[in-house]
Amino acid sequence: MTETGIYVYAVSRDLPPAAMEGVEGVGGAPVHLIEGRGLTAVVSPVSLGEFGEAALKRNLEDLGWLERTARAHHAVVDAAAAHAVTVPLGLATVYRSEDRARQSLGDRHEEFDQALSRITGRTEWGVKAYADLAATGGERGAQDRGDQEETSGARPGTSYLRRRSEQRQTEEEARHEVLVAADRIDDELCDLAATRRLHRPQDPQLSGERGWMILNAAYLVDDERADDFREAVVRLAGERPEIRLQLTGPWAPYSFATEEEAWTEV
Amino acid sequence: MDRSVSVPTPRPPTPARGQRIALVDLLDRLLAGGVVITGDVTISIADVDLVRISLRAIIASIRPEMDRVLEEGDDVRDEPIQGVVVREDPRP
């Protein structure tokens, strides 16, 4: 028989027990709550055969397992966040017993309390920007070719090299331009947000996106400014045809669960 | 398919809770976010090699179109022939 551990998804304040009834955690296990000093941990039992140290190390690198676990983790966090202010914990935070989980959460009470206060009344929104430089590059390329035909007296080799050099310069300028535009988009959104965190650009193989990712940011926005924030994203998205914006959310405040000093470089 | 909404849209994007979200957006948050407390099982997510995860994802989801873009993208740019270069996919 495999040992059972306790998976901790999140810590909430004032989470009504009824809110989590029927919610399933990883492996379909029923979620329950551990109360302590005014905070509530959202947990479920897991097999240490799957979530023990050695197994976890292996499983985390299996994309199928990672996806199932990430989605299960998110479903629980999302359900809690829909009912109460909730700080998500890192993926696969596992204890050997409920007592150990309770003890550890008690030790970190102050930190959770501060985190909960920091995110109360605020929601995380994600904004991603992609530049489609192929489109603009193609147009400019066509223009260059037109110019070229008019000056066809030049030696083909020389004009090819010159054309290549001009093309490179144009591409370089286009890249610089969209990066400046991405900074401006980020600045405007930062003005509407309580705080912002940058995530690393996504791997196109994972995202399936072909454009060049020029912004991958999470913004913590006061709930009363959420409409303004969304409207700003729509407005900014209409400004430049070669830049596409995607808004995601509302998210539980994953990106803002820890203080800024603790954000790891991404 | 996911709850990311491309803008501009006819109406302001109001993604709803419960829609299927993109795994990559979720991993951004789950692997870099959340309160990290040392559980009894002391593996740190930071130890997980994301490069290897990405490689596995590539192997798991071979997309011929994407492969072609990756293989030929730079060649096409350097092609001294003007106009759009269209190549036939040699695969059946």
Instruction: Provide, as residue numbers in chain B, all residues whose Cβ is less than 8 Å from the Cβ of A246.
Output: 4-7
Residue B11's pLDDT band, with cuts at 50, 70 and 90, is very low
pLDDT tens profile A59-70? 887 888 888 999
Listed ranges A100-109, A132-141, A232-241, B67-76; the one with the highest mean pLDDT? A232-241
Give A75's contacts (C-beta < 8 A, 6+ positions apart): A23, A24
Q: What is the pLDDT of residue B36?
A: 63
Q: Give which of A36, A40, A54, A53 is closest to A8, Cα–Cα.
A: A40
**DSSP β-bridge partners for residue A244:** A130
Q: What is the pLDDT of residue B84?
A: 28
Structure tokens given for A157:
């080799």
CATH of domain A123-134+170-262: 3.30.70.60
Q: What is the pLDDT of residue A161?
A: 87
Tell me whether A155 touches chain B (CB under 8 Å): no
Q: How far apart are CA A132 and CA A233, in angstroms?
A: 18
Query: Is the model more confident about B62 or about A209?
Result: A209
**Cβ(A136)–Cβ(A243) below 8 Å:** no
Above 60 in pLDDT, residue B48? no
Closest chain A CA to residue B62: A205
Q: Give which of A265, A255, A258 is closest to A124, Cα–Cα.
A: A255
Above 60 in pLDDT, residue B9? no
Question: Is this prediction's ipTM beyond 0.85?
Answer: no
Q: How far apart are CA A156 and CA A141, in angstroms?
A: 17
CA angle A98, A69, B43 (to 5 degrees): 60
Average pLDDT over every residue of A146-163: 68
Task: Report the percent of chain B where pLDDT is more than 70.
Answer: 14
Query: Is the model more confident about A46 or about A141?
Result: A46
Torsion, Cα of B20, B21, B22, B23 (10° steps): -90
Above 60 in pLDDT, residue A138? no
Above 50 in pLDDT, residue A117? yes
* Phi/psi at A45 (5° precision): -75, 145
Average pLDDT over every residue of A29-36: 94
Task: List the single best residue of B9, B20, B23, B25 to mutate versus A (max A Cβ within 10 A).
Answer: B25
Query: Is the model more confident about A179 or about B42?
Result: A179
Above 70 in pLDDT, residue A265? no
Strand A122-131 to A212-222 pairing: antiparallel
Length of chain B: 92
Average pLDDT over every residue of A193-203: 91
Give A25's contacts (C-beta < 8 A, 6+ positions apart): A7, A9, A31, A43, A44, A46, A72, A73, A76
Alpha helix locations (H) across chain A? 48-51, 53-59, 63-81, 98-107, 109-119, 133-150, 156-192, 204-207, 226-237
Secondary structure (H, E, C), chain B: CCCCEEECCCCCCCCCCCCCCCHHHHHHHHHHCCECCCCCCCCCHHHCCHHHHHHHHHHHCCCHHHHHHHHHHHHHHHCCCCCCCCCCCCCC
Task: Report the percent of chain A where pLDDT is more than 70.
Answer: 90
Query: Is the model more confident about A96 or about A76?
Result: A76
**Cβ(A109)–Cβ(A37) below 8 Å:** yes
DSSP run (H or E) holding A249? strand A243-251
Task: List the single best residue of A233, A247, A258, A259 to mutate versus B (max B Cβ within 10 A).
Answer: A247
Q: What is the pLDDT of residue A179?
A: 94
Give A26's contacts (C-beta < 8 A, 6+ positions apart): A7, A44, A46, A51, A68, A69, A72, A73
Above 60 in pLDDT, residue B47? no
Give chain B's mean pLDDT. 51
Indicate yes or no: CB of A255 within 8 angstroms of CB of B12. Answer: no
Lowest pLDDT segment from A88-102, A203-217, B52-66, B75-89: B75-89
Indicate yes or no: CB of A66 within 8 angstroms of CB of B53. Answer: yes
Task: List the single best residue of B2, B4, B30 to mutate versus A (max A Cβ within 10 A).
Answer: B30
Span(s) in chain A for CATH 3.30.70.60 = 123-134+170-262
Q: What is the pLDDT of residue B55?
A: 56
Burial class (CB in 10 A: 0-12, 13-18, 19+), B40: middle
pTM of this structure: 0.76
Above 60 in pLDDT, residue A91? yes
Above 50 in pLDDT, residue A227? yes
Above 80 in pLDDT, residue B8? no
Tell me whether A237 touches chain B (CB under 8 Å): yes
Task: Report the percent of chain A where pLDDT is more than 90.
Answer: 57
Query: Between chain A and chain B, how many beta carbons pairs sit less than 8 Å apart?
Result: 194
Q: How far apart are CA A100 and CA A106, in angstroms?
A: 10
The letter for the amino acid at A96 is: R
Indicate yes or no: CB of A248 within 8 angstroms of CB of B22. Answer: yes
